[in-house]
A and B are shown apart, each in its own frame.
Chain A
Amino acid sequence: MGGSAILVAGIVVLKLSQVAAPALEKLGLVSYLLGSDWDPVSGSFGALPFVYGTLVTSAVAIALALPVSVGLALFLSEMGPKRLRPVVGFAIETLAAIPSVVYGLWGLFVLVPLLRGTVEPLLGRFLGFLPLFRGPPLGLGFLAAGIILAVMILPTIASVTIEVLKTVPPPLKEGALALGATRWEAIRLAVLPYGRPGIIGAALLGLARALGETMAVTMVIGNSPEIHASLFAPGYTLPAVIANEFAEATSELHTGALAGLALVLFGITLLLSAAARILVRAVARGPAGARA
């Protein structure tokens, strides 16, 4: 029965390639991957806007979720009252259990109006000198998708970080404290350096989840295959375009081009999650010499 898992991995790649092959042959791999024009009606398919959107939204998500998760994990395991742990732990589990489409609903009717009415005008006024925060505040766009993703990957990063912090040997921190370090100094000098590979691994796991997340992003990103420097602009991601167009794709070329996008997405997430597992394992073993 265990062999079935390997079989499944093989089937994933095989089936995707089968559906994608005709389109990739006809379009040419290079012009497909680097093309920036996506127009199913005229039969032109370029993957670049989606790859760009996926990377940008995931980057925003990580930039927001990583500091918050690490701060939360540190507060729970090192600073705050112990009584808080089960309560916040339960909340994080709940956050992880909420279906993606419900996040999308919340994003569409709560987050997007908030961004359009308050956050984006403010960001534009004070940080408008950066190309990231220019343009009309539409609400729907990269920023909204990034924030939703941040909320969704937060449980992943936070729970793995908490586990990583548990593996830090107490004598390390106690040593720092005994030498007169404040609690924060002990964290910065002893706890964080020890846990760094594991925290990076946690971030990569979160990133892999962000890259593949579909429904919530589809509902708030604005769904237009364009490349913009501004986070306020609408965009598109790999999973979102598959979700929106796959069921209605009529030509073999269109279906194949979408399956090709899935192949690209699968490749990216595979690389990332493999890297993440290896890093998390490395920290479970601990840096050389730290055990003594």
Chain B
Amino acid sequence: MRSFRLRKARNLAWTAICGLAVVAALLPLLSLLWLVVSKGGAGLSPRFFVDLPAPIGEPGGGVGNAIAGTLLMVGMASLLAVPVGVGAGVFLAEKGDGKVGSVVRFTTEVLSGVPSIVVGIVAYGLVVVPMKRFSALAGALSLALLMVPPLARAAEEFVRLVPSTLREASLALGVAQWRTSLRVVLRTALPGLLTAVLLAVARAAGETAPLLFTALNNQYWNARPDQPTASLTVQIFNYAISPYEDWHRKAWTAALVLLLLVGALNLFARVLARGRLRGAR
């Protein structure tokens, strides 16, 4: 039997070690946020949001086209991914207890672990090879493929939260199953589904790897889906690995813009989710 004092000391030591782990986990976050805000904030100006990138040596320049490109591709990706992802989620929640459901669920789970770079090559094979050019469409498809699994999983969870009494009431009134799913279940789950969509959009906006060889990049404005397109993330990457001090500063500023965009989407999603909880009560 070890002495009580030793055991207490040991307890205290491990508590301290675990407390240190919390600090160790939060330090990189604080350092990163502080640097992005302080270094990136220095270069922030209204023109940064609307100007085209300037060649090296010229003053000024912004990432207007990259912001537009990100919005264009994320928008297109959402059009593709939201119906499929939400549809799969609703199916899983409403009819997913059978064999088909478990297969679908397992597949979405495994798919959500597919590295984004691999998804990029798939989009390359599907769009870039047949079209013989890099395009916003290819970029959007790669983002859509990444959005589907998390969307499906979140949609399933939110639809499952709908009280079964609501569903049963509708069915008891003689409403067909598909109408019940659509008009009662889906409508009740709507705020939750919006939260899921916003989170997926935020994630897609932050993706870089699959865009490198699908949308490539573009130094100019582009609104055509069949042309190479700039994106905020790829622009940050190119600026960061360049040898120029000025471009490094722009990388930090663009990172701040990206973080603000992603942060706003996340915050909005959170507010919606909270509203849903209140509504459910």
Partner of A67, one of B21, B149, B241: B21
B140 in the interface (beta carbon within 8 A): no
Known: A9-B110, A71-B20. A19 touches B32 (CB 8 A): no
**Which residues of chain B in 87-124 are interfacial with respect to chain A, using CB atoms and an 8 Å cutoff?**
87-88, 90-92, 95-96, 100-101, 103-104, 106-122, 124
B137 in the interface (beta carbon within 8 A): no
Q: Verify B118–A16 contact, CB threshold 8 A.
A: yes
A9, B111: Cα distance in complex, Å: 7
Within the complex, the shortest CB–CB distance from B123 to chain A, in Å, comes to 9
Stretch of A30-38, A121-129, A168-176, A181-189 contacting B (4+ beta carbons < 8 Å): A181-189
- Chain A residues contacting B122 (CB-CB under 8 Å) are 11-12, 15-16
Q: Verify B113–A270 contact, CB threshold 8 A.
A: yes
Q: Verify B11–A212 contact, CB threshold 8 A.
A: no
Q: Verify A104–B233 contact, CB threshold 8 A.
A: no
A25, B208: Cα distance in complex, Å: 31
- Chain A residues contacting B124 (CB-CB under 8 Å) are 19, 246
Known: A79-B15, A246-B124, A247-B213. A69 touches B115 (CB 8 A): no
Known: A101-B206, A102-B36, A184-B11. A266 touches B259 (CB 8 A): no
The count of residues in chain B whose C-beta lies closer than 8 Å to any C-beta of chain A is 85
In the complex, residue of chain A having the shortest beta-carbon distance to the beta carbon of B269: A97
- Chain A residues contacting B73 (CB-CB under 8 Å) are none
Q: Is the interface of B mostly helix, strand, loop or mixed?
A: helix
B148 in the interface (beta carbon within 8 A): yes
Partner of B121, one of A92, A184, A212, A246: A246
Contact-residue bracket for chain A: 35 or more
A3 in the interface (beta carbon within 8 A): yes
Q: Verify A95–B113 contact, CB threshold 8 A.
A: no
- Chain B residues contacting A205 (CB-CB under 8 Å) are 113
Report A147-159 CB contacts with B as 1/0, cut-off 8 Å: 0000100100010
**Which residues of chain A in 56-75 are interfacial with respect to chain B, using CB atoms and an 8 Å cutoff?**
67-72, 74-75
A102, B257: Cα distance in complex, Å: 11
A200, B74: Cα distance in complex, Å: 35
Q: Verify B121–A100 contact, CB threshold 8 A.
A: no
Within the complex, the shortest CB–CB distance from B258 to chain A, in Å, comes to 6
Q: Verify B117–A5 contact, CB threshold 8 A.
A: no
Q: Verify B21–A2 contact, CB threshold 8 A.
A: no
Stretch of A106-114, A131-139, A283-291 contacting B (4+ beta carbons < 8 Å): A106-114
In the complex, residue of chain A having the shortest beta-carbon distance to the beta carbon of B103: A6
Q: Verify A154–B25 contact, CB threshold 8 A.
A: yes
Q: Verify A12–B251 contact, CB threshold 8 A.
A: no
Q: Verify B117–A262 contact, CB threshold 8 A.
A: yes
Name the residue among B117, B205, B216 with the largest chain A CB count within 10 angstroms: B117
Within the complex, the shortest CB–CB distance from A224 to chain B, in Å, comes to 15
Q: Verify B126–A11 contact, CB threshold 8 A.
A: yes
Within the complex, the shortest CB–CB distance from A182 to chain B, in Å, comes to 4
A265, B121: Cα distance in complex, Å: 12
A239 in the interface (beta carbon within 8 A): yes
Partner of A184, one of B10, B148, B208, B263: B10
B31 in the interface (beta carbon within 8 A): yes
Report A263-274 CB contacts with B as 1/0, cut-off 8 Å: 001100110111
Known: A8-B145, A211-B115. A2 touches B104 (CB 8 A): yes
Within the complex, the shortest CB–CB distance from B224 to chain A, in Å, comes to 19
Q: Verify A273–B109 contact, CB threshold 8 A.
A: yes
- Chain B residues contacting A102 (CB-CB under 8 Å) are 32, 36, 206, 236, 255, 258-259
Within the complex, the shortest CB–CB distance from B95 to chain A, in Å, comes to 8
Q: Verify B121–A6 contact, CB threshold 8 A.
A: no
- Chain B residues contacting A269 (CB-CB under 8 Å) are 113-115
A250 in the interface (beta carbon within 8 A): no
- Chain B residues contacting A187 (CB-CB under 8 Å) are 14
B24 in the interface (beta carbon within 8 A): yes
Q: Verify B19–A101 contact, CB threshold 8 A.
A: no
- Chain B residues contacting A80 (CB-CB under 8 Å) are 18-19, 22
| Chain A residues at the B interface, C-beta cutoff of 8 Å | 1-6, 8-9, 11-12, 15-16, 18-19, 67-72, 74-76, 79-80, 84, 88, 91-95, 97-106, 108-110, 151, 154, 158, 182-185, 187, 205, 208-209, 211-215, 219, 239, 242-243, 246-247, 258-259, 262, 265-266, 269-270, 272-274, 277
Q: A91-B26, A105-B255, A274-B110 are in contact. List 9 more A-B contacts (CB 8 A).
A: A69-B25, A71-B17, A97-B203, A102-B236, A109-B248, A110-B31, A239-B115, A243-B212, A269-B113
Q: Can you list 10 residue pairs at the A/B interface with Cβ under 8 Å? A: A1-B83, A2-B91, A3-B104, A16-B122, A69-B25, A72-B22, A80-B19, A212-B115, A243-B117, A265-B118
Q: Which 4 residue pairs across A and B have the least CB separation, nearest first?
A: A212-B115, A71-B21, A99-B206, A1-B87
